[in-house]
């Protein structure tokens, strides 16, 4: 099976300008109403910057655990891909707080973490986290991520048996992370609002089939017209 980095390379090489993530935020709060679209090229750019930050600033690589304390969100997707690009293990759930590197949108959890920490602002156009000063030891992603390189080369690759994803104690090896879904057809356009660990797996399966993802967050249930306009072929929300 391909590694996540291989899948990312393939979708970017095949058609760099084609949308691969379309994000809708219906969660009440400051980001409600956001729609973000990322092509393969733009997604790769985000992943490369985040992977360079992990490798250069946190010395992350195979054997490193990277906790994702984030909702199902487009930013969580590129941080997961960045962690897999350096060969690390992504940890989701209660154990994320104990990971070597914590990526979180919560300033309190960022301040409490004893290791390397990245404080993420979910808003699309943020230039800094409004509460960054309360987590002085954390990297303010909105301010600092842009300073990292647009190309990434890993110092080491993971072994196929290394743990790639741990969700509440359930581990998935790199060899089993990208799972084909033949029932979705070719180039599927999937819609998902799944919990983060499941959504990441769904994204990888869609991209492995040269597909794309419509990612939704929030309580809105009447999205039939939206999904039709987006050309969704597989609705995974039920």
CA–CA separation, 213 vs 40, rounded Å?
11
Average pLDDT over the chain, rounded to an integer: 96
CB atoms within 10 A of CB 130: 12
The pLDDT, as a whole number, for residue 220 is: 85
Between the two ends of the chain, the Cα-to-Cα distance in Å is 28
pLDDT of residue 139: 97
How do residues 68-120 score in pLDDT, each as one tens digit? 999 999 999 999 999 999 999 999 999 999 999 999 999 999 999 999 999 99
Domains of the chain by range and CATH? Answer: 4-20+47-185+195-210 (3.40.50.980)
Q: Find all residues with CB under 8 Å of 196, minimum gap 6, and list them.
A: 68, 70, 71, 72, 73, 76, 92
Return the pLDDT at 87: 98
**C-alpha angle 159-10-119 in degrees, rounded to nearest 5:** 70
Low-confidence ranges of the chain (pLDDT < 70): none
């Amino acid at each position: 099976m391909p590694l996540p980095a291989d899948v990312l390379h393939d979708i970017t090489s095949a058609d760099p300008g084609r949308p691969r993530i379309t994000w809708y935020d219906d969660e009440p709060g400051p980001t409600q109403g956001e729609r973000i679209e990322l092509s393969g090229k733009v997604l790769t750019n985000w992943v490369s910057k985040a992977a360079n930050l992990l490798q250069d600033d946190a010395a992350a690589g195979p054997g490193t655990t990277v906790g994702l304390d984030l909702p199902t969100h487009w930013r969580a997707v590129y941080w997961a891909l960045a962690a897999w690009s350096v060969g690390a293990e992504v940890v989701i759930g209660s154990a994320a707080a104990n990971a070597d590197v914590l990526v979180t949108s919560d300033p309190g959890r960022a301040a409490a973490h004893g290791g390397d920490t990245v404080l993420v602002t979910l808003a699309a156009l943020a230039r800094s986290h409004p509460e960054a000063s309360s987590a002085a030891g954390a990297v303010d992603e909105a301010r600092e991520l842009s300073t990292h390189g647009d190309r990434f080369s890993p110092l080491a690759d993971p072994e196929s048996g290394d743990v790639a994803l741990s969700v509440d104690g359930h581990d998935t090896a790199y060899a089993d992370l990208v799972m084909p879904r033949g029932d979705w057809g070719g180039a599927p356009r999937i819609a998902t609002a799944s919990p983060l660990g499941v959504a990441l797996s769904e994204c990888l399966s869609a991209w492995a089939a040269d597909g794309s993802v419509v990612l939704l967050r929030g309580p809105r249930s009447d999205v039939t017209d939206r999904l039709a306009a987006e050309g969704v072929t597989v609705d995974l929300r039920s």
